[in-house]
Amino acid sequence: MPKKLFAVAALLCACGSGNALPVQPQISTDHPGCFFGTDLCLGTYIGEAPINSFRIISGGQQPLTVQSLTLNAPGVFTMQGPNCLSCAPDGGAASGTPMTLPSGQYAFVQVVFTPTDVQKYIGTITITSNAANNPSLVEQLRGVGVAPPIPDGGVVGTPPDAGITPDCTSAGG
């Protein structure tokens, strides 16, 4: 092989190694939290129960072990999961913690928001894991309970000066 061709081939091989995954377990999520309409300046009618979700993603070469998920929020937020469709040792579905996610796999966490009053609600979910980049990742929870409309155009249960509106002054709700 001529020297110039060999040098070009060696250079091409060396350039491809810059995007390797970190060896240690890494964690990320696909959303910074679950914002029940607050990111769009909306609220949730009292008595409704919308579901929002996020993914916990394993990004390192070594498996990510999620030891626990801790919900720190009012009772209007409930959490389901994590659930992974292919993380069990036999390649099947797995749920609950602890959960081991192989590299590139993810698990879903669902959050249900059922407001009971006309007010703002906030909370967090803390994901504790063996991740080198963030062993205690915090997901934000936000929602606003709003009174449902009544047929004559009024609103049930909202005093005229309640002043409860979604907070649209900051990014992410």
The stretches of the chain forming alpha helices (DSSP H) are 3-15
Residue 113 forms part of a structural domain:
yes
pLDDT of residue 94: 73
Distance set, CA 16 to CA 5, 19, 61, 164, 173 (Å): 17, 7, 17, 54, 40
Q: For residue range 2-30, what is the model confidence (pLDDT) as tens digits?
A: 544 444 444 444 444 556 889 999 999 99
* Amino acid making up residue 148: P
Question: pLDDT digits over 36-52, tens only?
Answer: 987 777 899 999 999 99
Does 72 reside within a domain?
A: yes
| Distance between CA atoms of residues 33 and 170, nearest Å | 14
Selected residue with higher pLDDT from 47 and 86: 47
Residue with tokens 């606003």: 144
Residue 133 lies in a domain: yes
Average pLDDT for residues 137-147, to the nearest whole number? 95
User: Which pLDDT score, from 0 to 100, does residue 137 have?
Assistant: 96
120: domain CATH number?
Answer: 2.60.40.10
Q: Which pair of structure tokens corresponds to residue 147?
A: 């009174």
Residue at 170 is within a domain = no
Number of domains in the chain: 1
Q: Mind giving me the DSSP string for 27-74? A: EEESSSEEEESGGGT--EETT---EEEEEEEE-SSSPEEEEEEEEES-
Range of 83's domain? 20-146
* 173 located within any domain: no
Q: What pLDDT was estimated at residue 4?
A: 47
Domain annotation covers residue 31:
yes
**Phi (first) and psi of residue 80, to 5 degrees:** -130, 130
